[in-house]
Amino acid sequence: MGSFKLGAMTLGGLFKKPETIQYPAQTKPMPAGLKGHVVNDVETCILCSICAKRCPTSAIEVDKKGRTWAINRFRCVQCGSCVRECPKQCLTMDPHYASPATQMEPSVFDVPEHEKVQAEV
Amino acid sequence: MGKATVIPFGPQHPVLPEPLHLDLVVEDEKVIEAIPQIGFVHRGLEKLVETRDYNQFIYVAERICGICAFGHSMGYAETVERLMGVEIPTRAEYLRVIWHELSRIHSHILWMGLAADAFGFESLFMHCWRLRERVLDIFEKTTGGRVIFSVVKVGGVVRDIDKLQFNEIKRVLEGIKHDYNQLCKAFLKDTSVKNRTVGVGYISHEDALDLSMVGPFARASSVNNDSRCLGNGGYKFLSDFQPIMDGQGDCYARVKVRALEVLQSIDIIEEMIAKIPEGDIAVPVKGSPADGAESSNVVEQPRGECYYYARGNGSKYLERMRMRTPTSQNLGGMTKVLAGCDLADVNMIVLTIDPCISCTER
C-alpha cells in the first residue's frame, strides 16, 4: 500500500496550533534586525553625503546649501550600506516597513544648523 | 503516424514559475522535438558592473535570482576577493556556508512544493511550503530579510549570528527534519507520486556527461559533479562531503536527489554551527582591483554549478563580470529529455530540471 503517506501529518495538523495568522487582525512581531526602512536623526546629521555616495540605487540626495536630506523610499533596497558607512551613526534601520504612499515622491527632511563646538585652547 | 503539430508551451504556464517558452513539435501524443526560447526577463545586470563599483555590485548580483540570491552574492564576493587577494576571516566563511545551505534547503523545499503542485498533490505542496516558511523565518531573524539578505560584502559578512540564534536555528532545523522525513516518505514512496515520476524523462549517464549537465539534474544520472567537493570558501572545513547521486536518471531520481540533499544540508549546517570559531566577521578592503587582473570562482548553487569570472581595470569599477548559471547548462539536457516523451509528461520533466530563467538571462 503506497498511498496515504501524509495521513499522520495531515491529521496531526487538526490538533496543532495553526501555522498561519489572521492577518491583518494579527501581525507577526518584527525581529530586532529586520530591514524595514532607513531613519535619519536630523539632529545629529552633518550632511557629509557619504550615505548618498555609497547608495547603490542613488536613493539618497543630500543638499548641503538647502540643508535637506532626502530619501526616495521607492528606490531604496534596504541594503544598509548607508547605515554602516555613516560616520555620525545618525542613520538607523527601523524594523518596521515604510507605510504605503499615494505619490512616488522622496521623503525630504530639513536638517537644522548645528552650533559649532568651540575648540578648547 | 499523425501529422506533426507545433504546440507552444509557456512563457505563461501554470507549471512555470518563470517565463520559458518551448515549441513542442508533437506527433499524436508524443513530443518529437522541443525548441526552447528564452529572453523574456533579460535585465542586463552584467552590464551594470560598469556603473556600480565593486562594493555596490553585490546588491545587483544578489538580485540575479530570488531563490539563489545568497549564492550569487557569495559567489560574486568570493570572486572579487580572489581578484584583490583578500583573505576573509574564518568565522565569515562559516557564516556564509550556513546561510548558503539554508538557501539550498529553502530552494529545494520550494521546488518540491511546486513539483507536488504540478502532479496535483495539493496537500503535499502546502506542507512543503509550510516547512519552507520556517527557513524564511530563520533568514528574517539572522539577516533582516526573507529573500534578499544583503549580508555579504567584499571582505566578509556584515552580520554575525550569536549563540542564542544558533540554538534557535538548531531547534528549528530539528523540527524541520522531523516533519521533512514524513514529506520524503510521501515523495519517495507514495504510489501516485511514483506513477508520475518513475521512468519519466530518462537521460543516460553518457548523455548527461556529453551535454555537460550540472547540479541535481546531472547527479540523478550518476554524474559526480558537485562544486562543494572542491572545498571553495567555508566548504574546506567540512569533515566529509559526499555528493548525493542516483543512477536511474528519471524524474523520480531527480526528486530523490533533491529530497536527500535537504537532509544533507541540515547536517552541514549542524556541523558548521558545532565548529564555528570565534573572531571577526570581516576585514577592511581598500583599493581597487588591478588593471588586467582576472579571477574565477565556482559555487554550487541549489540548481548546480555556477561559474563566475571577473576582470579589473585599475578603477573601482570592474571591467567585466560574467556568470555562467546552471540552468543555461541544463537547457541542452532538457531538450534531449523532452524529445520522445509523452505530451502529458512535459510539465513534470520541465519542472524536474528546476529551470531558473532569471539566473539564465540576468
Angle at B106 (CA atoms; ends B101, B110), nearest 5 degrees = 145
Whole-angstrom Cα distance, residue B196 to residue B219?
20
A68-71 and A107-110 strand pairing: antiparallel
Q: What is the pLDDT of residues B222-271, one digit of tens each?
A: 888 888 888 888 888 888 888 888 888 888 999 999 999 999 999 999 99
For residue A79, pLDDT beyond 50: yes
Which distant-in-sequence residues (6+ apart) come within 8 Å of B70 by Cβ? B62, B99, B100, B102, B103, B149, B151, B152
Which has the closest alpha carbon to B158: B173, B146, B142?
Answer: B142
Domains parsed from chain B with CATH numbers: 42-328 (1.10.645.10)
Report pTM. Answer: 0.89
SS3 B265: helix
Residue ranges of domains in chain A, CATH in brackets: 44-98+106-111 (3.30.70.3270)
Mean per-residue pLDDT over chain A, rounded? 84
Distance from CA of B310 to the nearest CA of A (A): 19
β-bridge mates for residue B320, sequence order:
B311
The residue among B358 and A69 whose pLDDT is bigger is A69
Vertex B230 angle, CA B224 and B233, to 5°: 140
Q: What is the pLDDT of residue B172?
A: 92
Would the pLDDT of A7 be above 80? no
Q: Determine whether the interchain pair A78/B130 forms a contact, defined as Cβ–Cβ distance below 8 Å.
A: no
Q: What mean pLDDT do residues B1-13 have? A: 81
Mean pLDDT of A92-104: 87
| Residue A11, pLDDT above cutoff 60 | yes
Q: Which residues of B touch A5 (CB under 8 A)?
A: 182, 185-186, 189-190
Q: What is the pLDDT of residues B265-298, one digit of tens each?
A: 999 999 999 999 988 888 988 888 888 889 999 9
- In which band, very low, low, confident or very high, does the pLDDT at B167 lie, cut at 50, 70 and 90? very high
* Residue A47 pLDDT > 60: yes
pLDDT at A117: 54
Quickly list H helices, chain B: 57-61, 69-84, 90-118, 122-143, 163-189, 191-197, 205-210, 215-219, 251-275, 326-338, 346-352, 357-361
Question: Does the beta-carbon distance from A56 to B59 stay under 8 Å?
Answer: yes
- What average pLDDT does the segment B65-89 reach? 90
- Calculate the alpha carbon distances from B120 to A7, A17, B15, B50, B248 in Å: 17, 26, 11, 46, 23
Cβ–Cβ gap B140/A31 under 8 Å: yes
Strands, DSSP E only, in chain A?
37-40, 60-63, 68-71, 91-94, 107-110
Report chain B's mean pLDDT, rounded to a whole number. 88
Taking only the tens place, the pLDDT of each residue in B49-58 is 888 888 899 9
Neighbours of A60 (CB within 10 A): 24
| Predicted local distance difference test score (pLDDT) of residue A115 | 67
Report pLDDT for A103.
Answer: 86
The per-residue pLDDT for A51 is 92
Q: Is the pLDDT of residue A121 over 50?
A: no
**Whether A2 and B190 lie within 8 Å, measured CB to CB:** yes
Minimum Cα–Cα distance from B138: chain A residue: A31
What is the rounded average pLDDT of the residues B306-322? 90
Quick check: A96 contacting B, CB < 8 Å? Answer: no
Checking if the pLDDT of B101 tops 90, the result is yes
d(CA A93, CA B358): 29
